[in-house]
Amino acid sequence: MTSRKFTADDVNQMSWEEFGTLMDKLVDKIQDFCNSNNISFDAVAPILRNGAVPGTVIANKLQFV
């Protein structure tokens, strides 16, 4: 296996505003899915590191406490 060095060109830099917009769209899709399939979630379990921030945002927007 060869290792690869990552550079700044490999990073998708986005603003917090863009991140928020994408999170709003994702939460809307989750809510639409739940409504159309008559299901609900009791919790959000994010995968740590990269998933912690979006998972927390989703949980907050879906009002999981």
User: Given this model, what pLDDT does residue 29 score?
Assistant: 97
Residue with tokens 């505003």: 17
Q: What share of the chain is helix, strand, coil (3-state, %, to 5)?
A: 60, 0, 40
Q: Report how far residue 1's alpha carbon sits from residue 57's, in angstroms, rounded to the nearest whole number.
A: 36
User: Given this model, what pLDDT does residue 50 score?
Assistant: 84
Q: Report how far residue 45's alpha carbon sits from residue 28's, in angstroms, rounded to the nearest whole number.
A: 18
Model confidence band, residue 61 (pLDDT cutoffs 50, 70, 90): very high
Q: Report how far residue 10's alpha carbon sits from residue 17's, in angstroms, rounded to the nearest whole number.
A: 21
Model confidence band, residue 65 (pLDDT cutoffs 50, 70, 90): low
Residue-wise pLDDT for 4-51, tens only, equals: 888 888 888 889 999 999 999 999 999 999 999 999 888 888 887 788
